[in-house]
Amino acid sequence: MKGIGVLLSGGGSNLQAVMDAVERGSIPADIKLVLSDRPNAYGLVRAESKGIPSFCIDRKQYKSSESFNQAILEKLTDHHVEYVVLAGYLRILSPELVECYRNKIINIHPSLIPSFCGMGFYGQKVHQAVLDYGAKVTGATVHFVDEGTDTGPIILQKAVDVLCGDTVETLSQRVLEVEHELLPRAVALLVQDKIKVLGRKVTLEEGDV
């Protein structure tokens, strides 16, 4: 069974969606570990409740970004992780880590990339920016992680209408529901080698997934 590592910084609802899909058998892989950069991340509690090894690797405990990312890479290697899923992880991975897992790291982002993405666009800030701009449509995107910020090839996207009277809270909840749909689907495709990448073009062999 192939091994997944999940990185997160917060509550871990996307982790929960992936764990549920693994339990249902729709993702034929094991979650080998969950890592957080924040010791109080509730996602760690979710992992522990399922007996999944969980660790906090706190940037404050390391002298440099290089040593911090090296610690992450060592933990992934030690637990035989083949694929990495960023499920609300708010730090940029080092080029060395990205290279080690080229086209094997995916991220979920709460907008339709290339809109409302990049440096500074994360969490509720994305939804606030959508509302401030007056956009009529937003959504969620699963993409490969490269050396940039939200710049890797796009795997899956789904639109969410912005409704009259939406707040950050109401909009984020509807987008989150779509995230919970897209991320497990993308992970299932990934671990079954049903994603092909040619430059920026991604093709999917969905079949029964």
State the pTM of this model. 0.94
DSSP strand pairing (201-204 vs 195-198): antiparallel
Closest CA to 129 of 180, 175, 183, 177: 175
At 202 the pLDDT is 96
Distance CA 194, CA 107 (A): 17
pLDDT on residue 206: 73
**DSSP-derived secondary structure for 63-79:** SSHHHHHHHHHHHHHHT
> What is the predicted pLDDT for the residue at 124?
95
User: Contact, 94 vs 66, CB < 8 A?
Assistant: yes
Write out the CATH class of domain 2-197: alpha beta
- Say whether 194 sits in a helix, a strand or coil: coil
Helix axes 42-49, 13-24, angle to 10 degrees: 20
Mean per-residue pLDDT pooled into runs of 10, the chain (209 residues):
96 97 97 96 96 94 91 96 97 93 97 96 96 98 96 98 97 98 98 95 78
Q: Domain locations in the chain?
A: 2-197
Instruction: Report, as residue numbers or ranges, the catalytic residues.
Output: 109
What is the per-residue pLDDT for 85?
98
Dmax (CA) of the chain: 49
